[in-house]
Structure 1
Amino acid sequence: MSEIEISCDRGRLDLGYCYDFIANSYWSRGRSRGEFDRSVEMSVPVGAYCDGRQVGFARVVTDFIAIAYIADVFVDPDYRRRGIASMMLDALHAHPDIARVKRWMLATHDMQPVYRLHGYEDLNETIMMRLDAESDDREPLL
């Protein structure tokens, strides 16, 4: 099995590859390429890389202080069941720019078991939330 690399370097993202996946997902059908690019620009993204190419993506929409919303998480079907989604979540949760965020949220129709492993709890059948109790103990950003 090839090594998986996780990076929050937005310069490494293959936006064309990401958009092609996102545009065909149940949660983003109808989103234009321009809208996708803008959403990534306005977020904290993470990519997963293996075998010389991108194989996963996720992003966080945040105010950097109070709330973070995980969005557009996907792993290439050929690379699933390797823990890549979990590695991307771990990288986002540990990102220094959002270390003070206490309330993390997301919506999913089918991946609740993965998110529960990372401390997310069901608010309803689709919305999940994670409270980072340690966020108050970290140094303020400002």
Structure 2
Amino acid sequence: MSPSFETYLHPTLSNCSITTNPHNMDITAIHQFLTHSTWAAGISRETVQLSITNSLCFGLFKDDKQIGFARLVTDYATFGYLCDVYIVEEWRNHKLSRWLVECCQQHPVTQRLRRIMLVTSTASWLYEKVGYRPVKQENFVWQIVRPDIYKQ
């Protein structure tokens, strides 16, 4: 099922909006940020494009410039994995991270999911404010890590 496109307007910052329309995403800006991030260093532009095509994405814009992003990997029915959440440096400390995550949670697709997970090593304080809790159950979350996948 393909979701409808949603647009959210910031309640106080003029010309600040979030859209889920994939055609509005600035692939170059997203790739530039992600390739220098701690979690996706070296990721190819093609991989970023493919991940956006196959996910529910939230682009945060000030005027026409993309200043933030979040991606929900989902089956659109029961499960979602929130990832690639960021705000560019010059727009941090304006409470935009929280607004971005809250908009992700308000989307109609997200509202019907039974479980939404994320992985963070730097922003647990943010996610706790909007209802996320750490998984503290032994042998519950498992992973396969291939750290050199982008170094080809």
Q: TM-score range by the shorter chain?
A: 0.7 to 0.9
Counterpart-to-counterpart distance in 1, 2:97 and 2:86:
7
Pair 1:42 & 2:54 matched: yes
2:27/2:45 contact within 8 Å kept: no
**1:70 alignment partner AA:** L
Give 1:20-59 correspondences, 5 Å limit. 20-59=32-71
Please point out which of 85, 93, 100 is paired with 2:112.
Answer: 100
Counterpart-to-counterpart distance in 2, 1:2 and 1:93:
20
Q: Which has the higher helix share?
A: 1
2:69/2:86 contact within 8 Å kept: yes
Q: Which has the higher strand share?
A: 1
State the secondary structure of the residue aligned to 1:104.
strand
Q: Deviations over 1:59-105 (max 9, x none)?
A: 10011121110010110100001121212212211212332102110
Give 1:1-142 correspondences, 5 Å limit. 2-3=13-14, 4-123=16-135
Aligned length: 124
1:66/1:101 contact within 8 Å kept: yes
Instruction: For structure 2, list consecutive stretches of 5 or more residues without a partner in the other structure.
Output: 1-11, 137-152
Q: What TM-score results when the alignment is normalised by the length of structure 2?
A: 0.76
RMSD: 1.5
**Identity over aligned pairs, percent:** 27
Counterpart-to-counterpart distance in 2, 1:98 and 1:77:
27
